[in-house]
């Protein structure tokens, strides 16, 4: 049916209800409503996304955490549940860039660096997966640098130096 789109919070609720595995995770689910020219997101914790327009970050999803390094998480053992998910709907335009990832996407690389990489990617006509790979590789390199100036180290107010080693996921989509 034209105009219908998948509701990301309903996807999250169904996945949560049907998961029996032990553990917990942050999550970010985004769907595209091409009729309304919007993206619709459900986000839990410190995974998240950036909306980039003309090379500049115009939106950064908010982080949900109880304190530094303690994000909300979905799980089946003393964890949060889908009711805590932040829901948002944002207008999109042709040539916008959507960047989605785990918290490491922004823990080990500054937003200004991402904007520079996006500008270069646009100039060089890189594919979305090539831009995602570049950002992921820089994140990985910085995560192992014990002396790197990183957003995570700055946010820790002196409790942590250098990069943060953790899983790194970066997905990039070009809006056509």
Mind listing the pLDDT tens digit for each residue in 101-147? 998 889 999 999 999 999 999 999 999 999 999 999 999 999 999 99
* Model confidence band, residue 1 (pLDDT cutoffs 50, 70, 90): very low
Give the rounded percent of residues in the chain with a pLDDT score beyond 70: 98
Give the per-residue pLDDT at 38.
97
End-to-end CA distance of the chain: 22
* The pLDDT value given to residue 69: 85
Mean pLDDT of the chain: 93
Q: Does residue 166 sit within a domain?
A: yes
Residue 155's CATH number: 3.60.40.10
Mean pLDDT within 152-163: 90
Query: Is residue 89 assigned to a domain?
Result: yes
CA distance 155 to 108: 11
Cα(15)–Cα(86) distance, integer angstroms: 16
pTM above the 0.75 mark? yes
SS3 123: helix
pLDDT digit string (tens) for 67-81? 998 999 998 777 899
Quick one: pLDDT band at residue 4, thresholds 50, 70, 90? low
87 located within any domain? yes
- For the chain, the domain total comes to 1
In a domain, residue 64? The reply is: yes
Distance (Å, whole) CA 116 – CA 83: 36
Q: Is residue 3 included in any domain, yes or no?
A: no
Q: 10 Å Cβ neighbour count for 6?
A: 12
Spatial contact of 25 and 74, defined as CB atoms under 8 Å apart = yes
DSSP state of 162: S
Flag whether 15 is in a domain: yes
Strand partners, 98: 51, 173
- Domain span at residue 112 reads 8-174
Cα 26 to chain centroid distance, Å, stands at 10
**Strand 27-33 to 24-25 pairing:** unpaired
What pLDDT does 176 receive?
92
The arithmetic mean of pLDDT across residues 25-30, rounded, is: 95
Q: For residue 2, what pLDDT is reported?
A: 53
Does residue 52 sit within a domain?
yes
Residue 95 scores a pLDDT above 90: yes
What is the structure's pLDDT at 3?
54
pLDDT of residue 5: 77
Is residue 164 a contact partner of residue 143, using CB atoms and an 8 Å limit? yes
- Assess if residue 167 is contained within a domain: yes
């Amino acid at each position: 049916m034209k105009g219908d789109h998948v509701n990301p919070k309903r996807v999250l609720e169904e996945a949560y209800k049907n998961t029996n595995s032990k553990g917990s995770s942050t999550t970010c689910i985004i769907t595209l409503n091409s009729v309304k020219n919007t993206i619709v997101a459900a986000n839990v914790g410190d995974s998240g996304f950036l909306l980039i327009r003309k090379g500049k970050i115009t939106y950064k999803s908010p982080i949900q955490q109880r304190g530094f390094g303690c994000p909300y998480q979905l799980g089946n053992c003393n964890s949060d549940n889908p009711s805590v998910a932040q829901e948002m709907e944002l207008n999109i335009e042709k040539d916008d860039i959507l960047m989605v990832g785990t918290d490491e996407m922004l823990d080990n690389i500054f937003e200004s660096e991402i904007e520079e990489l996006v500008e270069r990617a646009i100039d060089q006509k890189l594919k979305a997966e090539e831009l995602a790979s570049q950002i992921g590789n820089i994140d990985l390199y910085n995560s192992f640098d014990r002396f790197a100036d990183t957003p995570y180290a700055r946010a820790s107010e002196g409790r942590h130096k250098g990069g943060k080693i953790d899983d790194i996921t970066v997905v990039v989509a070009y809006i056509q």
